[in-house]
Amino acid sequence: MSHLQIANQTYFQHFKDSMKYCYISMSCAFYFFCHAIHPDIYVDSGSKTIKELYQILNKKVKLEDESIYAE
C-alpha cells in the first residue's frame, strides 16, 4: 500500500485518522442538516468545523510533503 508509505503510517494509524476525519465530516453534515431545517441553530458550527478539519489536513499534508522532500 503505497499510500501508507507516503503517509508514513501503519494501517491502524491510518484507520484511526480516517475514522476521526469521518466523524468530523459527519458532524458537519449533522450541523448543516439541522441548520437547513431550523436556521437559527448551528448558525456557524458547520463552517467552523470544516475550517478546523481543513487546518488538520493541511498541516498533515505539509508534514508529509516535508518528509518526502527531505529524502
Residue 67, pLDDT above cutoff 70: no
Per-residue pLDDT band for 71 (boundaries 50, 70, 90) equals low
Domain that includes residue 63, residue range: 2-70
**What is the rounded (10 degree) CA torsion for 11, 17, 22, 23?**
130
pLDDT digits (tens, 9 = 90+) for 28-65: 999 999 999 999 999 999 999 999 999 999 988 877 66
Higher pLDDT, 69 or 33: 33
Domains in the chain, number: 1
Task: Report pTM.
Answer: 0.78
Residue 7, pLDDT above cutoff 90: no
